[in-house]
A and B are shown apart, each in its own frame.
Chain A
Amino acid sequence: MHEMGIAGGIVEYSLSLVDERRASRVTEIWVEVGELMQVDVEALSEALRTLLSGPKLSGAKTNVKVRSAAFSCRRCGEGWKMDEVKKQLASVPSSLLVEEPDSDEVPLHFLPYLYPAFVHCPKCGSSDVAVADGQDVQLMRVVLE
């Protein structure tokens, strides 16, 4: 839903690096998007390609990867992944699912940081759950020339 906005942010940030490091242009951009952001990797790559133009950006290679979500229990230390969470989400009432009319994806569009309201520890049952990974967009590497 927000691929273009994310791409805009990444490009803007990379450009600021070129100036800051007194380089002449960007040659590679490596991005990891958290699984919980529900970003379409293809759409994000496409959006980046569209925006990478001009002397400091054109020809830059992009690499976009999904970063798996990880959850952990603050009570017992157990850790788990998205497959477990999907099972638990099956019982969330549909009235709480954020509708996404433009997408054919399963509408599981919660705010990434709000997962603790819907998930409990598979080992001890506690709701004191932390989202340990996969909740944001990270720019992993920018190569400048």
Chain B
Amino acid sequence: MTWSARGFPYQEHEARRKVDQIGSVVMVGSGKGGVGKSFVASGLALSLAGMARRTGVLDVDIHGASLPSYLRVRPPLRTGRRGIEPKRSGGVKVMSVALFTGQNPVPMRGDAKESLITQLVALTDWGPLDYLVVDLPPSMGDELLSAFRLFGGKSRFLLVTTPSPNALSVVARLRRLIASERIPLEGVVLNMAYASERRGRSYPFGVADASSVRKMLRADVIAELPLEPAVNSESLVEVLRKSKETSTAFKALADRVVRGP
């Protein structure tokens, strides 16, 4: 009896084995671009590691990878006996397409992106992790859907937005997709929610009060992060070390992720 098995999904299989070694996946997304998803993903990952949780962070933003700059990691990667070794930053294991491609553009269409993300998960030697934080690109395209398919079973979603109504209306559309895909929503992170000044707080991106956000997104605001000008000049590890306000907010977020509401 011969059985033809053309197309044995090896990397699919291997990616699943890798995912089996992860306790819980936290997807960080928004739908809207430039609201601070990568900032939140990196800060959350660092804070989880600070709570002695084995933490990895995966950048699935193929065209606009920015984790490497927040976490100050760069090529080259190395391979070990069990796969490609992720970079480390502040106790976090970091993997990003940009660690392979540097400044090269990555022209790529749909199906190839899906295969690439699967392969990236499959060939990385994550080891056992308590948390894998996934930094998603804007939009609701291939990267997001691939992440849902790979991690859906053990993931939760963090929605990042600024208080601006423009951002919120885009985020509301992603909210509906998350619901239809049955990914549990952990909550909403309001980034750049306020700026601290000597005389108190100002609100350069507007004010989004918690009850209207809850109404619009059917979820609670679980963290409010301040405008932190230092993120544009220093590594996030440094920023968290120096800024009590930002690190306290991230710690509270990590605490919520670990312990629930």
Contact = CB atoms under 8 A, between A and B. Distances in A.
A13 B13 contact: yes
Interface string A121-140: 00000011111000111111
Contacts of B84: 98, 109
Interface stretch (B20-28, B75-83, B232-240): B75-83
Interface residues of B, number: 39
A76 interface: no
B4 A113 contact: no
B203 interface: no
Interface stretch (A3-11, A51-59, A80-88): A3-11
**Max chain B CB contacts within 10 Å: which of A5, A127, A129, A135?**
A5
Given A100-B78, A111-B120, A127 B2 contact: no
B2 A111 contact: no
A23 interface: yes
Nearest to B77: A98
A143 B1 contact: yes
A93 B75 CA distance: 11
Interface residues of A, number: 48
Contacts of B97: 111, 114
Contacts of B6: 138-140
B5 interface: yes
B180 interface: no
A102 B2 contact: no
Interface in A87-127: 93-103, 109-114, 116-118, 127
A117 B101 contact: yes
A111 B4 contact: no
B8 A98 contact: no
B11 interface: yes
B8 A137 contact: yes
A44 to B, nearest CB: 11
Contacts of A98: 76-79, 84, 100
Nearest to A34: B10
A96 B3 contact: no
A114 B116 contact: yes
A130 to B, nearest CB: 7
Contact of A110 (B5, B100, B107, B109): B100
Interface string B95-114: 00100111011111100100
A137 B11 contact: yes
A142 interface: yes
The 5 closest A-B pairs by CB, nearest first: A139-B8, A137-B10, A113-B116, A139-B5, A99-B78
Given A6-B14, A116-B108, 12 more contacts: A5-B17, A93-B102, A95-B102, A96-B100, A96-B101, A113-B115, A113-B119, A116-B112, A117-B106, A136-B11, A141-B5, A144-B2
30 contacts: A2-B82, A2-B83, A5-B14, A9-B14, A9-B17, A13-B8, A13-B13, A17-B5, A74-B109, A96-B101, A96-B102, A97-B76, A98-B77, A98-B79, A103-B79, A109-B79, A111-B97, A111-B100, A114-B97, A116-B107, A117-B105, A117-B107, A130-B109, A136-B10, A136-B115, A138-B6, A139-B10, A140-B5, A142-B3, A144-B3
